[in-house]
Amino acid sequence: MEAGKVWLVGAGPSDPGLFTRKGMEVLAQAETVVYDALVGQEILELIPETAELINVGKRSSHHIMKQEQINQVLVQKAREGKRVVRLKGGDPFLFGRGGEELELLTAEHIAYEVVPGVTSALSVPAYQGIPVTHRDYCSSVHIITGHKRAGQSYDIDFEALVRTGGTLVFLMGVASLGDICRGLLAAGMEPETPAALLMQGTTAAQRRIVSTVAGLEEEVQRQGAMMPAIIVVGKVCGLAREFSWYEKQPLGGVKVLLTRPRQLISETARKLREKGAEVLELPAIRTEKIPENHRLREALQNLKDYRWIVFTSPTGVRIFFEEMAENEVDHRSLAYARFAVIGTGTAKELRARGFYPDLMPEVFAGAHLGEALRKACGPKERILIPRAALGTPELTAPLEGLLVEDIPTYDTKYETSRFVDIREEFETGKTRYALFTSASTVRGFAAAAGEMDFSQVRAVCIGKQTEAAAKELGMQTWVAKRATMDSLVERLEELVADKS
Q: Which residues are catalytic?
A: 36, 58, 172
Q: Are 112 and 8 in contact (CB under 8 A)?
A: yes
CA distance 168 to 166: 6
> What are the backbone dihedrals phi and psi of residue 486, each rounded to the nearest 5 degrees, phi first?
-60, -40
- Please give the torsion angle defined by the CA atoms of residues 419, 424, 430 and 432, in that order, rounded to the nearest 10 degrees: 110
CA distances from 61 to 123, 155, 232, 358 (A): 23, 18, 21, 63
Burial state string for 15-49 with b = 16 or more CB within 10 A and e = fewer than 16: bbebbbeebeebbeebbbbbbbbbbbbbbbbbbee
Backbone angles phi, psi at 149, to 5 degrees: -70, 145
State CA 388 to chain mean position distance: 26
Bridge partners of 256, per DSSP, are 279, 433
| DSSP 8-state code for residue 302 | T
In single-letter form, the type of residue at position 41 comes to Q
Q: Helix, strand or coil for residue 444? A: helix
Q: How far apart are CA 335 and CA 337, in angstroms?
A: 6
DSSP one-letter code for 246:
G
Rounded distance between C-alpha atoms, residue 189 and residue 81, angstroms: 54
| Cα-based distances in Å from 104 to 71, 97, 98, 111, 304 | 7, 12, 11, 11, 67
Alpha helices in 438-484 (DSSP H): 439-449, 464-472
CB 152 within 8 A of CB 181: no
Instruction: Name every residue whose Cβ is closer than 8 Å to that of residue 168 and which is 6 or more positions away in sequence.
Output: 141, 142, 144, 161, 184, 231, 232, 233, 234
Question: Is the peptide bond preceding residue 228 cis, with omega within 30 degrees of 0?
Answer: yes
366, containing H or E segment? helix 366-376
Count other Cβ atoms within 10 Å, centred on residue 309.
25
